[in-house]
Amino acid sequence: MTPSPPPPPYTLLDKTSMPDGSLLALYTEDGEYILEYDGLELMSTSLTWSEQMLADLGCVDLLEGAPTRPEHPRVLIGGLGMGFTLKRVLELVGSPATIDVAELMSRVIEWNRTYLVEHNGPLLEDPRTNVILADLFDCLGEGDHYDAILIDIDDTPDALITVDNVKLYTPSFLSLLRESLNPGGCLAYWMAMPSPKLEMALKKAGFNLEAHPAKPHEQSERAIHRIYVARLIL
């Protein structure tokens, strides 16, 4: 099904096909940018508060100057999106540090190097940033270990953006996440709404869990999103 374009004055900047054949498109309006999947808005540059909160909560032990900060923090971000989580991580962790970003779509990486630079700056040129053109699933279990893993790829297990995203909640994937965390490391999931299924899956996988309400925008009245922060039970 071909999605209907947003109504004027939205301007289509670029589009690309996802592996499942769906359409990913970048629009602009009044200096803001909107990322859409098959006609449904995924994110925009005007609603970034919860994406930044994902970094704040997931990297709380890695803050520059904190006694809990490792000598060289390593962070893995699943999903580049519009770069707001990456931007906040870079602001928080200082140097030295390594932030790997797994992004499935090459065009999304290109958009962050071009259109979105005016909002976030040259994030991908930061020497601490390492963008990997790959599925997050393929970046785990290769011997790399992280102090924080931040995932912002899907809405919820009950409202999958793509059918393939179901693997983000499977015991095998959560086991890979466990194996990829350093001792004391933190796993954080962004969800569009509360997700009892994710809560149950994380607890069954051996994580202690905190659920944090999050607003789409700093001035939003309702905290409709959730950030799930999980740590291994020692």
Q: What is the pTM of this model?
A: 0.94
d(CA 206, CA 230): 9
State the total domains in the chain.
Answer: 1
Q: Is the pLDDT of residue 185 over 80?
A: yes
Band of pLDDT at residue 180, cut at 50, 70 and 90: very high
Structural domain contains residue 125: yes
Structural domain contains residue 61: yes
User: 119: number of CA atoms within 13 Å, CB side?
Assistant: 23
How many C-beta atoms lie closer than 10 Å to residue 158's C-beta? 12
Structural domain contains residue 59: yes
Q: Report, as an integer, the average pLDDT of 215-226.
A: 88
Structural domain contains residue 26: no
Q: Which domain holds residue 161?
A: 47-232
CATH, residue 71 = 3.40.50.150
Residue 218: per-residue pLDDT: 81
Structural domain contains residue 108: yes
Structural domain contains residue 202: yes
Structural domain contains residue 9: no
Residue 8: per-residue pLDDT: 52
Please write the tens of the pLDDT for every residue from 27-55: 999 999 999 999 889 999 999 999 999 99
| 176 Cβ contact partners less than 8 Å away, ≥ 6 residues apart | 137, 140, 141
Q: Report, as an integer, the average pLDDT of 154-180.
A: 93
Band of pLDDT at residue 1, cut at 50, 70 and 90: very low
Q: Tokens for 227?
A: 């950030």
Residue 221: per-residue pLDDT: 85
Residue 144: per-residue pLDDT: 87
Structural domain contains residue 36: no
